[in-house]
Each structure stands twice: as structure tokens, then as C-alpha cells.
Amino acid sequence: MKGFSLIELLISISILAAITVFTVTNLVSSPRNQELKSNAADLASLFRKAQIWSLTGHQVNGQVPNGGYGLSIPACGTAPCKVRLFADLDGSLTYNSAGNLLGTPATNPTEEKIEELVLSKFVTVAPPGIGVDLLFKPPQGLVCLYDTASVQCPPASSNVIFALAGLGDYASASFQVQVSTVSGQVTTQ
């Protein structure tokens, strides 16, 4: 007999269907992962910028900030989440939300908001429920963490981890930005 049996055809079709489902699933989730990965890279880049400016004595309005440079990451369970790079001019080691964007007149210039990163509409940043400020204090770039209750210079943990996670249909995707409080190294995973 020539040709294929019914069982051989069913097995071949089942294998083809499984490959198709796997491929379509990867094609659908790939843009989500890429956008989340891009947000993690942007956040890591802001951490690195704050660290470099703290170590090099970068000036804002003609002065080196007493408290250094940091990122203010609000409690953002819903999108969009805005992360602010700021100069701590008064040395409080925290972000004063009254700070103005650099170049605009400040009524109380205790902080300068230098840059703002708006994360994608489907991304949230943990630790959930609390906002945190992470600063690099000059001249050694000492890592300080403010979590609405206290300032820790350096924090008790040797690593501070910020988890970026997708929301809604994108909940399966996640990345981490990790800041070492010992070496200052910033990594993404």
C-alpha cells in the first residue's frame, strides 16, 4: 500500500498544530517583553547617570548638590509610572516634590527635577505600596535609600532591587534593575 495511514496523518497534524501554537504565542508576547526590557534599560540608565554625576561633581545651577543625585520612584500600582532623576540641593537625601524641572523658575529651590522617565502604560515598579528615593551621595557615590520612613546610608541590604512587571494582559513579563550598595554596580535581569 502506498500513502499514509490515518494515524500517521493525525500525528503529523498534531505536531504541526503544536509548533504553530508555540510560534504564535512567542510572536504575541515578544513585543511586550521588548517594551518591558526597554523600560528596565532606561531605568538602569537613569541610575547610572545619577551615580556618574554624583561621582564627578556635576553641577546644577552652578553648584554641586549637597545630597547628590537620585531617583524618586513613586508607589505606582497603576500606569503610567513617572520616575524622576533629581539633584538633592539641600542635602535632605529625599526628593521634595515641589522641585521644578531644570531651567524653570523655582519658588523654593531645594531640589531640581532634571529628567522624568514615564514608563510604558502596562509597566509597574515594585516595591509595591511605597515610594522610594535612591540617591548616590558625593563624593564617593555612597548609596542611600529613603523609603518614606527613614533614610539608610547605606541600606541594610547589599542590593536594592526594583522589579518591573507587566500589568493586565502583560502580567507574565518581568525584569529587575538591581543596584549594589557595596560597589554601586547597576544591572538588569
Query: What DSSP assignment string belongs to 135-182?
Result: EEETTTTEEEEE-SS-EESS-SSSEEEEEEEE-GGGTT-EEEEEEETT
Question: Cα(112)–Cα(106) distance, rounded to whole angstroms?
Answer: 8
Question: Cα(15)–Cα(18) distance, rounded to whole angstroms?
Answer: 5
pTM recorded for the entire structure:
0.74
pLDDT for 27 beyond 60 = yes
Which residue carries 510572536 as its cell? 27
C-beta neighbour count of 173 within 10 angstroms: 20
pLDDT at 184: 81
Q: What's the number of CA atoms in the CB half-sphere (13 Å) around residue 141?
A: 20
Backbone angles phi, psi at 49, to 5 degrees: -60, -45
Question: Cα(9)–Cα(74) distance, rounded to whole angstroms?
Answer: 57
Segment 47-72 mean pLDDT: 89
pLDDT for 10 beyond 90 = yes
Q: What's the number of CA atoms in the CB half-sphere (13 Å) around residue 17?
A: 6
Chain mean pLDDT for the chain:
79
